[in-house]
């Protein structure tokens, strides 16, 4: 099965990612549609996402047929996970001095908008079955099969390591990586990446609006999550009240 990964720098259980550096390290499932599930580190049961929820390191997230979800991090990193996709949040830290994000993209389609941040230490990597991508405020898409990744870069620069060799991808270029093969780079997008670029351009304004909200209110993410959890709890309380009335 193929998978597409697109990066724009910008859940399924109520769990917070707050590192020792403070609440700005938080990230969450911001919106969702359809069957979205997560598996937290150290657990064996998948949980269905029923509200906007925080993410934490070690969480595995997947979408079913026709489903999708948006992830938002404290630095403004925005990720759109499409149907039949799966990723693992391996590292997720963001604070005054450091940004350290690491994702293992297993299958499906994902669009990223990676935020540019000024930190003494910044590390943002995405692993696929056939490559490791180092992100530098980069917007790109990846189509992943079991042993290959088709990477289309829309803005910025991307460092790709595949089979022990490094390749620097420039905006407007596409790279095909495969296990045991040389990286092939073309300066013309395939039909698939042309479609992904149009999706990227549609979502770019949305990601920018979210970043403006984060910049305007330091506690935007935590306040948003609290409001969403309260809304969900109120709905649950009303549902229980109706059930009690029927008895």
Query: Which CATH number is 3-196+212-246 given?
Result: 2.60.120.1440
Tokens of 83: 């149907």
| Cα(109)–Cα(105) distance, integer angstroms | 9
- Is the pTM higher than 0.75? yes
Judged by DSSP in three states, 69 sits in strand
Q: What pLDDT shows up at residue 121?
A: 82
* Residues in the chain, pLDDT under 50: 1-25
Closest CA to 29 of 85, 73, 64: 73
SS3 14: coil
User: Can you tell me the distance from the alpha carbon of 247 to that of 245, in angstroms, rounded to the nearest whole number?
Assistant: 6
pLDDT for position 122: 84
Query: Domain-by-domain residue ranges, the chain?
Result: 3-196+212-246
Residue 153, Cβ neighbours under 10 Å: how many? 27
Amino acid 219: pLDDT:
87
Residue 172, helix vs strand vs coil: coil
Residue 161, both tokens: 């390591």
Q: How many Cβ atoms are within 10 Å of 146's Cβ, its own excluded? A: 11
């Amino acid at each position: 099965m193929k998978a597409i990964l697109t990066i724009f720098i910008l859940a399924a259980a109520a769990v917070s990612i707050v590192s020792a550096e403070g609440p700005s390290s938080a990230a969450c499932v911001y919106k969702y549609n359809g069957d979205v599930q997560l598996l937290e580190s150290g657990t064996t049961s998948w949980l269905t996402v029923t509200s906007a929820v925080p993410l934490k390191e070690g969480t595995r997230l997947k979408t079913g047929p026709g489903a999708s979800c948006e992830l938002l991090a404290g630095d403004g990193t925005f990720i759109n996970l499409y149907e039949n996709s799966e990723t693992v949040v391996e590292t997720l830290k963001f604070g005054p001095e450091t940004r350290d994000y690491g994702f293992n993209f297993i299958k499906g389609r994902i669009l990223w908008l990676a935020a540019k941040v000024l930190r003494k230490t910044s590390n943002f990597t995405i692993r696929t079955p056939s490559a490791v991508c180092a992100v530098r405020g980069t917007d790109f898409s990846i189509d992943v099969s079991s042993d290959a990744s088709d990477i289309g870069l829309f803005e910025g620069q991307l460092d790709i390591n595949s089979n022990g060799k490094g390749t620097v991808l420039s905006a407007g270029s596409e790279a095909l990586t495969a296990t045991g093969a040389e990286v092939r780079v073309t300066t013309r997008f395939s039909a698939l990446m042309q479609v992904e670029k149009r999706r990227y351009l549609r979502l770019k304004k949305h990601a920018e609006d979210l970043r403006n909200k984060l910049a305007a209110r330091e506690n935007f993410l935590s306040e948003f999550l609290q409001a969403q959890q309260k809304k969900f709890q109120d709905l649950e309380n009303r549902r229980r009240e109706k059930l009690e009335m029927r008895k």
